[in-house]
Structures are given as C-alpha cells and as structure tokens.
Structure 1
C-alpha cells in the first residue's frame, strides 16, 4: 500500500505523466460505476436525442409557416398554415414530455451511481489497514464522503444534463441552419474559431484553479473537523486565537482561489455574449442583402436568426457545466485515489480455518519497520504458551504497542512470522483471527447508541443476561445501573455521558463478552482511577484464567497479576521472567519497580 500516493493528491502541481495516470484512474472508476446502469444510460440518450430534435424543429416550422403557409392562406388555403401550427404544437409538447422523461431517467442513474460510490468509499476505507488511517486524517476522509461526493452529485444531477442537451442542441441547430441556408451556416462556421479560442483559454486556466479550489475546500473541512474533535485540547491550552488565525488563513486562501475563478467567468461569459451578438449581426446583415436580392425568403431569414441566436444559448450553461465538471473531476481524482489504495494487511488468498483457538502465540525472528529507515523491532523471538498472562513493560517507544499490533495483525512483520497455534497470522481466516484475538486500547471509543449496544459489539447476538454478566465481571454493572436508563442509556457522542474510566470499563465488558482466546490490553487501565483499577484487576484474575493475555502498562500495579514479565528496550526483549524473579534481581525491571514503590510513599 502506498499512503504517500494519496497524500500526493492534495497537491495540484502534477507532472503530465501523473495527470494522465490520475485521469485514467478516474475514468476507470467512472466506467465501473456506469456499467451496471448502462441500459438506462442508453435509453436516456435516445430520449434526449429525440426531444432535442423536436425542440430544434421550431424555427424551421416557423419559416415554413411564413414562406408557404401565409401565401397559401391569402389564396384561401388554410391547410399549410394549420398543419404547420399543429406540427409545431405536437413537437413542443412531445419535446417537453420527453425532456421530463429524460430528467427522471438521468436522476435515477445519478442516484444509483452516487449510492454505489458512497458505499464503495465507506466499505473500502473500513477494509484499509491501520497504516492508512494513521496517515490519512479523519477530516480528509470526511471530505471525501461530503464535499467531494456533493461535487459529483451536482455534476450528475445537473451538469451532465446541461452538457448532453447543450451539445445535441448546438449540433442539431447548426445542422438545421446549414440545411436551411448554407450561407448563414458558413457565417456560423466562421464564428467557431473565436469561440474555440475563448473556450480553450477558459479551459486551460480554470483546470488548475478548480483543483486548487477543491484542495482549499478540503483543507477547511479538515481543519474544522480536527478542531472540533480536539475541542478539549483547544480549551485546555487556550489555542482559540491561534486556531482563528490558521482557519482565517485557510478561508482567505479559499476566497482568493474562488475570486480568480469568478474573474475567469467575468471574461468568459461576456466573451460568449459578444461572439453571439456579432454572429447574429453578421447573419442579419448578409441575410438582409440576400432577401433584398430575392435569394432568401423572409421566413428563412427569421429562422436563420433564431437558429444563430439559439446556437449560443447553451454555451453559458455549458460553461457552468465546466465549473461543475472541474470540481467533480478533482473530487473523483481524490476518491479514486482512496479506492485504489490496497490494504497493507491483505486477506489471505487461501485462508486457514481455526475454529477453536487455544491461544499459543509465537514470534519467529520477527523484524518490523514502519518505514525502510525506521526499524522498530530489529529481532524478536518469543513463545507465549496458551493460557499464560504476559506483562510487557518498558519505556515509551520501546516497541510494546508495536508488538501488540503485530499480534493483532494490524500490521504484518517486515520479516519473520507471527503464529497463533502454529498458523501464520497472514494465512489465518480473518473471521477466525478477529474472534481469537481482541485488543483493548487506551482510547475507549464508544459509538452512538445505548450502553448495552456498545457492549454487544463484542458479540452482536448476545442476550441481555450475557451483556449484564460481562459488565458485572469487570465491575461496570453498578455504575451502569445508576445511569438514567441503565443499560438502555444513550451514551451520546463518543461516550460523552460517561467518564473516561467508565468508558474504559464498558470497553472491557465488550472485549470480555467477545471471549477471545488471546486478549491484549494496551495501556487499557491508564484512564482508570485507583478504585476502578482494583475492581478491574479483581475481574481480570478471574476472566484471564485459561486465556492468553498480554498486558501493556506503565502502572506496575497491573503487572502483579501476570505470570510472566517481559521488559523491552529499543525493540528488544532485555528481560524475561516472573514478577518475583525480576523484582528480586538487579535488572531494569527491579529498578523500575523500586522507583514505582518510592512514588507511592
């Protein structure tokens, strides 16, 4: 997996080769989204072709009515004019009905595509490895699901309609004009050159500006989300003024980009109007002389003027389409970049089933580095028998959490193997792996919903009795019962209704309900007060029986329940023994334990 590839897409100074590769990737994504609805797309195209032809027929019918119908009416023959009127009415009504049908068809296509894309982004980002989520901020993920998808929705809902109808309308109008009067068609052809130059000028300059606009918009969202998510830290360190300055600079950057976009339209829109008016004036001048010479009928002149004027009508809408297109194209590039990411921890091609794990964990010559030049674990050989409780201790950055993440297969070793019951974790079926190994981290995250629903995440089909039993086992039952609605109490956003220690107890109950063969506690007692920690330690002694457990803790009081202590320094295990053996020695753990005891006095 290459997280740097996604990071790079926040730039807008791509090389030509990079831009070509990104466009190809975006087109592949768009093609895969349209493939399931290709039948509806074809039907919509047929409908819009017929409806546009019906709309374009109007001026030609008017010319026929004036040049043929009126002279016939003067001779008491009203049929040509009446027939023209009826056909004009039928063409107008049918064109309107077909446009309405096309609008419904295109809306259904766009909604189907958006639902598919939204699901893909959500499901794919869930599958991506921890490495991706630690590098790709939550604000940027939210931006992909909100502003980027909104830009694509705007394009599909209205932009595509404007483009398709505009191109067809202009094409049919030009064809009708040439068939009606070739000379006027040549005048229109001459106007295409300045029109092309103006459009190309607009396209080249707007392409980078719209991408910059998307980047600036995403930066605003990222900053806002991160500030609101970390509002406690903002309040604690009084960073409001600094945040105001940073956010103000981002807003100003976004304003400047949009101001430059508006300036582009300030040239482009009047340019279109000027070219259109000049063309109409030339057609009128040339046509007027030809009418005077008897080369062109009055009705035909009127029709050519109408066609010439109508030819330029969709141009402004198509310019607005280009606005939507640029925004959507930049959004699609970012979304396709996320969807192109591959998990750094892929599912096995031929998974091995392990229905009943005993819990033996082995590290065979394991090496690990987050980056090529940043080795965390240079060499680890470790055998943890089933049912043994291990305590991992050491200074910050010693590699304890990395060891736990490898054991949970959040990451794969750079070299060597991690095995559960002699099965390499890379070969183990994902469902069996998640059922066998559960990690409780320092961040006790609670989802919106009731306390019972949060505990039941560990076992979705658990009964109310099982949920209560798990809560009681970790000492959470009493405080849950004291909540306004007991186990049915809504914990609110991110568990804001309960304290940090209570959130941790709920996460413990969730893990114990899952009943894993291997339980990893990564600094999981750090947010508990002393009474709560004692309750949990009492529960752990019962619940960790006959279960492999790895406890990572700075509080050495937690180590007392371990069968074995491993001391880590610089990614290596430097001491290994029972708590009593290491305390009675003269090594690193004995020094740490003595310092901890002195801190309690």
Structure 2
C-alpha cells in the first residue's frame, strides 16, 4: 500500500519527502473543506479582530481616566472621566457581544466542516474496492470515523478559538503597550526570549509524545472493536484471558503515553507562570522608579502592569491548543490518507450500457495476482455460454473464489479480459454490471432491520408479494412465517435472531429477488443443514433456469444440478465436462465423488 494508506499508527519513520507529501495532502484536504465557507470565515476573522481590539482597549482607557479624568474631576470637569467610563463600558459590551457572535460563527463553521468530512469518509470508503477493505481493518476505519474526527472536532470547537483569540490578544496587547510606554514594551519584548525557548522545547518534545498518544489510542480502539465483533470466536476458543492481558498492555501503553504528555505540561505551565511573574515584576520595578522620577504617569504604569499581566494569560491556552493541534494534525493525516486512496477497480470513464444482458461470460488470456504477488490465475481462458450452470470444484487455494471475484468485478485481471456478452467488464456501466451479476457468499450478512427489508435489498422497490415469492422459491417462507412477526421480524444485529442456515436462505431470497442474469454462489450452501440444502436445491433448479450460474461448492450434492463441472488446481482447469461424464471417468472429480459417497456411508 502507498504512503496514503499508512499513516499514524502504521508508521512513524517517514522520510522528509514523505512527511512533506503527507503535510501537503492534509493541507489540500483542509483547503477543500474551507473553500465553500470562505464568506463565513472572512466574517469570523473580522468579528474576532474587532472584539479583540475592544477588549484590549480597557487598560488604556483606565490609564486615561486616572491620568486625565481624575485631575479634570478635581477642577469639576466630569467630561474626561465620564468619557473614560462610558468608553470602557461600551468596549466591554461590544467585546462581549462580538465574542458571543464569534463563538456562534466558529461553531457553525466547525460543524459544517465535520459534516462534510464525515460524509466524505463514509462515501469514499464505500466507493473503494474490495482490495482496500480486505487489507484495511474495520477497527481502523471505525477509528477514522470516531476518535480521529473527535480530535478534529475538539480543535475546531475550542483549539482554534484559543489560537486566534489568544494570538490576536497578545499582538494587540504588545502594540498597545508600546503605544503607551515603549520602555515597558521593551521589557515585555525581552521576556519573549525565554518564552520562545520554553515553547520551542515544548513543541519538539511534545510532537513525539502526542503522536504516541494517538498511536496507542488507535491500537486500543482497534483491539476493542475486533474483540467485540469477533465475540463468538472469543467465546468459542476461550480467548478472554488472553484478550484481558493484551488489552491491559494496550491500556498501559496508552497510560504511559499520556503520562509523558502530562509531564511536559508539568514543565510548561509553571514555566509560563514564572516568566510572566518575572516580567511583571521588572515592569513594576522599572515603572515605579520612573513614576518616582516623574518619567511616566501612575495611570500609564497601571495600564502597563495590566497589559503585561494579560499578555501571558493566553500563552497557557495556546500551549493547550498545541496539544489539540498535534492530535488533530495526526488525525487529519490519517483521514486524508484514506481519502487519497483510489479504487483499484475504477469506474469506466466512458461506460458502455448493457440494458438487456444475456449472461455469456468469457475469460480471454486472463492473468491475476493479488497485490503483484504470487500469480493465482496464469493465462486463464474460459467460455461460459448464457444460461449454463457451472460448478467449480477443487482444493482450497485452487483459484475458485478468485475466478468468482473477477466475474463480479471485485477485482480486475492483471492481464487479459473478462467480458459479459462481449463487453469488457472494465468498460461496462457499474449499474448494469451490478444488476446483471450477483454474488452470494458463505458469509450471509444481514443488516439491522426486518427480514423483509433484508430480502428487498436485492430490489428496494419490491412489493411484499414479490418478497414472499422469492422466499418461497428458496424454501425460506416457512421459517420466516414462524418468526414472531413474520416478515416484519427484526433480525437484530448481524442477524442474531436467526440461525446461520436461515441467514443463508434469506441471502438466497435477496439474490433471487434481484433477478440477475449471472448468479454466483461461493460456498453459499456451506452453512445449510441437509433438509435446508435440499429445499434450496429444489429452488435453485427452478430459479437457475435460463440463467448463467457459477456454483463453488465442496459439497458434491450441490454440484449435481450443474450442467458442467470444472475442476481447478493451481489456477488451471484440469477437468471439464458434465457431472455424469466426470464421475464415470478416472480423474480428479471421480475420486472426489467416490470419497464423498464413502463419507455418506
């Protein structure tokens, strides 16, 4: 997998060029998220600038009131003091109102970004090919939609406010301080030297610490999700104790990573307080001496002290912003990596429509290898006429499921052409392809909802009569009727209310309702008991008529309904003929059939 697919928890040893590529990728994503919101962003910037200026004006107005208003008041002139008081209250109210408006504006912007990003991740991962989902674990995908997006949400909800308000506040305070007393401004400027060294030290050491926190958090989530989704296997193999030990290790790693981060803040926070107090003390000392000598007015000194004290208040919040920023930056890297992934089976740029497919499938010079590894199908040729039922037989790893995935276009061949009715599948319109070819696998996945909803997945606009007819065709109607609410029964999570065989029957009804011209059954009867299998076979004989079918099965009883049997070994067809002819022969299939008959005895 490329750099785009391995970020965060997968690698931490990126080269400089890879790091730059990842940063550029993240910035491009951020740009596409902000571009539609530029009007709101511009308005927000204007609001925060005005509100910050209004807040910063307070100490200067106090200095004016003390140095100009009080002497004038002694002379019975209320105007200067009244102006200072009125201006102070006015700027306070304006600042408060604008801060409230700014908070609402930033919240709307952050929610718009999060909604956009969440939709992009979900829709894009759906569009990605099966190859991606077979290599990218479900736990990691869930982490992208949960913890990673939460990190970005925290940054947008509070971190950006801290940075923008705090940064502008410090700049405006420095400018105001220099405008009323340049000597105090120089003292403040001198305090920036130790402040810069402290913040730089924190940035260098915290970058690794925050990334370690994100890494351990992702591992924790992945382990938790995989344990919960694989709970049946956990119970079956008594893996609880091992899971407890492994999970405890991940929790401890997460705790240690957080402790290292907390220790960094244990140095940063008191360091900021110390630098601020020293700067305040120096301003007081220098300013006090100058007041005693008549160099500045006492109101100016008070304003300088207020400005100096206020200057360091946002510094701690901005340091906390760096925490949020590091987490969000790492999260954005991972999300942008997923969004940069391209389908290995892309949709055609100029698709060919095939409204009335007949079902003729052909492999011409097909070669296929997973991820440029070992070749599974070497120079494979096969012609399946429309309406013919093919049974694929062979040992595990012979290439049967690979052939089925190529016909379904879950994968594209490394070389050669797989065609339907003479049209290369890579050029066929996706809607026509999915309508014409349906694959039923051994894992009969049911979605939350009713039994009827799951059957109608093959044809969303189907009536209840069509749903019932499909269920009757595969022998599922009787057990569905026996459920508490019949076709309206909620199947519960992943079909927990029905047995494995019943789930498979529902998936058969779903596929038959879709009415494809090519139906692929990949070990689809493996979880059925003998009575259920017989019911399905009766339904298959009816519903596979005038339909191209590829049946992959180890149970040779299922093979009996096939018109033609292909025996595969190492990606090569070693036998090809009718079931009767192959059984009468002395080849591989004949031996398999004899062994199967003996097992029944």
Q: Is TM more than 0.5 here? A: yes
Residues 391 and 552 of structure 1 are in contact (CA less than 8 Å); yes or no, is this contact kept in structure 2?
A: yes
- Secondary structure of the equivalent of 1:345? coil
Instruction: Find out whether 1:330 has 2:335 as its counterpart.
Output: no
TM-superposition CA deviations, 1:131-173 (whole Å, max 9, x none) = 0000000000000000000000000011101100001000000
Residues 12 and 212 of structure 1 are in contact (CA less than 8 Å); yes or no, is this contact kept in structure 2?
A: no
Q: Following the alignment from structure 1 to structure 2, what is the Cα–Cα distance between the partners of residues 42 and 149?
A: 24
Q: Following the alignment from structure 2 to structure 1, what is the Cα–Cα distance between the partners of residues 538 and 374?
A: 39
Instruction: Find out whether 1:248 has 2:239 as its counterpart.
Output: no
- Secondary structure of the equivalent of 1:460? coil
Q: Following the alignment from structure 1 to structure 2, what is the Cα–Cα distance between the partners of residues 3 and 474?
A: 44
Q: Following the alignment from structure 1 to structure 2, what is the Cα–Cα distance between the partners of residues 414 and 11?
A: 29
Uncovered stretches (5+) of structure 2, i.e. residues with no partner? none
Instruction: Find out whether 1:484 has 2:481 as its counterpart.
Output: no
- Secondary structure of the equivalent of 1:557? helix
Instruction: Find out whether 1:20 has 2:14 as its counterpart.
Output: no
- Secondary structure of the equivalent of 2:85? helix
Query: 2:189 is matched with which residue?
Result: 189
Residues 7 and 136 of structure 1 are in contact (CA less than 8 Å); yes or no, is this contact kept in structure 2?
A: no
Query: 2:351 is matched with which residue?
Result: 351
- 1:372 to partner: Cα distance: 2.5
TM-score (normalizing by structure 2): 0.99
TM-superposition CA deviations, 1:297-323 (whole Å, max 9, x none) = 000000000000100000111111111
TM-superposition CA deviations, 1:108-147 (whole Å, max 9, x none) = 0000000000000000000000000000000000000000
Query: 2:84 is matched with which residue?
Result: 84
Query: 2:36 is matched with which residue?
Result: 36
Uncovered stretches (5+) of structure 1, i.e. residues with no partner? none
TM-superposition CA deviations, 1:47-68 (whole Å, max 9, x none) = 0000000000000000000000
Query: 1:473 is matched with which residue?
Result: 473
Q: Following the alignment from structure 1 to structure 2, what is the Cα–Cα distance between the partners of residues 269 and 210?
A: 17
- Secondary structure of the equivalent of 2:370? strand
Query: 2:236 is matched with which residue?
Result: 236
Query: 1:68 is matched with which residue?
Result: 68
Instruction: Find out whether 1:7 has 2:17 as its counterpart.
Output: no
Q: Following the alignment from structure 2 to structure 1, what is the Cα–Cα distance between the partners of residues 96 and 62?
A: 18
- Secondary structure of the equivalent of 1:367? strand
- Secondary structure of the equivalent of 1:371? helix
Query: 1:541 is matched with which residue?
Result: 541
Q: Following the alignment from structure 2 to structure 1, what is the Cα–Cα distance between the partners of residues 388 and 530?
A: 25
Query: 1:393 is matched with which residue?
Result: 393
Q: Following the alignment from structure 1 to structure 2, what is the Cα–Cα distance between the partners of residues 48 and 148?
A: 28
Query: 2:318 is matched with which residue?
Result: 318
Give the 3 Å change call, closer, same or farther, for CA 4–492 of structure 1 in structure 2. farther
- 1:6 to partner: Cα distance: 1.5
Query: 2:528 is matched with which residue?
Result: 528
- 1:207 to partner: Cα distance: 1.0
- 1:210 to partner: Cα distance: 1.0
Q: Following the alignment from structure 2 to structure 1, what is the Cα–Cα distance between the partners of residues 264 and 141?
A: 31
- 1:3 to partner: Cα distance: 5.6
Query: 2:409 is matched with which residue?
Result: 409
- Secondary structure of the equivalent of 1:363? strand
Matched pairs, number: 600
Residues 26 and 333 of structure 2 are in contact (CA less than 8 Å); yes or no, is this contact kept in structure 1?
A: yes
Q: Following the alignment from structure 2 to structure 1, what is the Cα–Cα distance between the partners of residues 36 and 480?
A: 49
Query: 2:495 is matched with which residue?
Result: 495
- Secondary structure of the equivalent of 1:507? helix
Give the 3 Å change call, closer, same or farther, for CA 300–109 of structure 1 in structure 2. same
Q: Following the alignment from structure 1 to structure 2, what is the Cα–Cα distance between the partners of residues 74 and 125?
A: 75
Residues 4 and 336 of structure 2 are in contact (CA less than 8 Å); yes or no, is this contact kept in structure 1?
A: no
Query: 2:580 is matched with which residue?
Result: 580
Residues 7 and 337 of structure 2 are in contact (CA less than 8 Å); yes or no, is this contact kept in structure 1?
A: no
Residues 391 and 565 of structure 1 are in contact (CA less than 8 Å); yes or no, is this contact kept in structure 2?
A: yes
Q: Following the alignment from structure 1 to structure 2, what is the Cα–Cα distance between the partners of residues 460 and 84?
A: 71
TM-superposition CA deviations, 1:324-376 (whole Å, max 9, x none) = 10000000000000000000000001100000110000000100000323111
Give the 3 Å change call, closer, same or farther, for CA 64–309 of structure 1 in structure 2. same
Summarize the alignment of residues 49-448 of structure 1 with structure 2, pairs less than 5 Å apart.
49-448=49-448
- 1:5 to partner: Cα distance: 4.3
Residues 3 and 132 of structure 1 are in contact (CA less than 8 Å); yes or no, is this contact kept in structure 2?
A: no
- Secondary structure of the equivalent of 1:377? strand
Give the 3 Å change call, closer, same or farther, for CA 580–3 of structure 1 in structure 2. farther
- Secondary structure of the equivalent of 1:243? helix
Q: Following the alignment from structure 2 to structure 1, what is the Cα–Cα distance between the partners of residues 550 and 373?
A: 28
Residues 4 and 338 of structure 2 are in contact (CA less than 8 Å); yes or no, is this contact kept in structure 1?
A: no
Q: Following the alignment from structure 1 to structure 2, what is the Cα–Cα distance between the partners of residues 595 and 192?
A: 85
Residues 565 and 577 of structure 1 are in contact (CA less than 8 Å); yes or no, is this contact kept in structure 2?
A: yes
- Secondary structure of the equivalent of 1:333? helix
Residues 12 and 208 of structure 1 are in contact (CA less than 8 Å); yes or no, is this contact kept in structure 2?
A: no
- Secondary structure of the equivalent of 1:290? helix
TM-superposition CA deviations, 1:26-46 (whole Å, max 9, x none) = 011001000111100000000
- 1:21 to partner: Cα distance: 1.1
TM-superposition CA deviations, 1:209-239 (whole Å, max 9, x none) = 1111111111111000101111111111111
Residues 4 and 340 of structure 2 are in contact (CA less than 8 Å); yes or no, is this contact kept in structure 1?
A: no
- 1:4 to partner: Cα distance: 6.5
Answer with 553-562 or 371-380: which moved more.
Answer: 371-380
- 1:7 to partner: Cα distance: 3.2
TM-superposition CA deviations, 1:240-286 (whole Å, max 9, x none) = 11111111111111111110000000001111111100000010011
Answer with 364-373 or 261-270: which moved more.
Answer: 364-373
Q: Following the alignment from structure 1 to structure 2, what is the Cα–Cα distance between the partners of residues 270 and 574?
A: 77
- 1:204 to partner: Cα distance: 1.0
Q: Following the alignment from structure 1 to structure 2, what is the Cα–Cα distance between the partners of residues 4 and 457?
A: 36
Superposition RMSD on alpha carbons, in Å?
Answer: 0.8
Query: 1:591 is matched with which residue?
Result: 591
- Secondary structure of the equivalent of 2:381? strand
